[in-house]
A = this chain, B = another copy of it.
């Protein structure tokens, strides 16, 4: 089973989160590709059992570059149904739109008919980093990757 961790990043903060999430996915036994959104072709999305997307928080939502991928994914509308999705973001400060950015990505996954999951501990909707991810955020990213991979294995096992 395979997972994609896709990110858009200018400062490198969201990319670091992507790497930590991928580490967690691998720990839980899935194959994982980490890709900059500019290197993701729409049809690539079909290959993965789990798709985890991260973007900086730009005006309370994912960056346009990430939205373009989702807009173009309409070509395969219905074909991503049943896959597992996850989302993460880096932002400039508390109350700065991080939650609405993550919820926005998760809503796109719901519209695709995908399965998403929350976390009763830190970062309920998905990992958030204020500026560069510190050790705690990195740990939360690793756990998030593990949790998504574990659910993916449950849902897709024979």
The reply to whether B70 and A59 contact each other, CB–CB distance below 8 Å, is yes
A122 within 8 A of B: yes
Please name the residue on chain B nearest to A59 by beta carbon: B108
Q: Is A103 an interface residue (CB 8 A)?
A: yes
Q: Are A117 and B115 in contact (CB under 8 A)?
A: yes
Q: Are A96 and B118 in contact, with the CB atoms below 8 A?
A: no
- Once the chains bind, are B61 and A104 in contact (CB under 8 Å)? yes
Number of A positions contacting B (CB below 8 A):
56
Copies in the complex: 4
Which of B60, B106, B151 makes the CB contact (< 8 A) with A111? B60
* A64 cross-chain contacts in B, Cβ below 8 A: 64-65, 67-68, 70-71
Residue A11 is within 8 A (CB to CB) of chain B in the complex:
no
Asked if residues B95 and A128 are in contact (CB atoms below 8 Å), the reply is yes
Knowing A67-B61, A74-B58, A104-B60 are in contact, say whether A118-B125 is a contact too (CB < 8 A). Answer: no
Beta-carbon contact of A58 and B77 below 8 Å: no
**Contact A122:B93 (CB < 8 A) given known A64-B64, A116-B117, A155-B154:** yes
For residue A18, CB closer than 8 A to chain B, the reply is no
Q: Which residues of B contact A95 (CB under 8 A)?
A: 98-99, 102, 122-128
Residues of A within 8 A of B (CB): 58-65, 67-68, 70-71, 73-74, 77-78, 80-81, 93-100, 102-104, 106-128, 130, 151, 154-155
